[in-house]
Amino acid sequence: MAKRILTVAAFTMAIGAPVSADPSLGFGLSLSFGGDDVDYGVGVRVFSDDEEDSLAASVGVDYMLKSRRIRPTVGAAYLGDNTYIGLDLGLDGDGVDFGVGIGGVQTEGTTSGDGSGDSTEF
């Protein structure tokens, strides 16, 4: 089973590598809606892109404070000016739940030809 999971993960990364942009790391708050309960937590996300004002795929992990559990996630997010808002699917003890997250992420702004564009750099 572990060999099959590693094979699928390697294949997925190999296909995505040629089209991937600069990945970025985000930290934020999340709400999950599953079963009859709403849970809240803190999380870490890795986004497929770091471009400001764009959509990006995400993978991450949340620590859900109410239920005291770890929640792995996969989803999509809109990256704004060093912020994100995302929708995701997560695994809970009973199956899959839906979640919403907001937080901070370092994004790269677009620069225009006249030098007046903004760019975020550290």
pLDDT band at 103 (very low <50, low <70, confident <90, very high): very high
Q: Who wins on pLDDT, 60 or 122?
A: 60
Q: Who wins on pLDDT, 10 or 52?
A: 52
Query: Which pTM does this prediction carry?
Result: 0.71
Per-residue pLDDT at 7 exceeds 80: no
Q: Where do the structural domains in the chain lie, given as residue ranges?
A: 22-105
pLDDT at 45: 97
pLDDT band at 5 (very low <50, low <70, confident <90, very high): low
pLDDT at 68: 93
* CA–CA gap between residue 59 and residue 48 (Å, rounded): 9
pLDDT at 34: 82
- How high does pLDDT run on average in the chain? 82
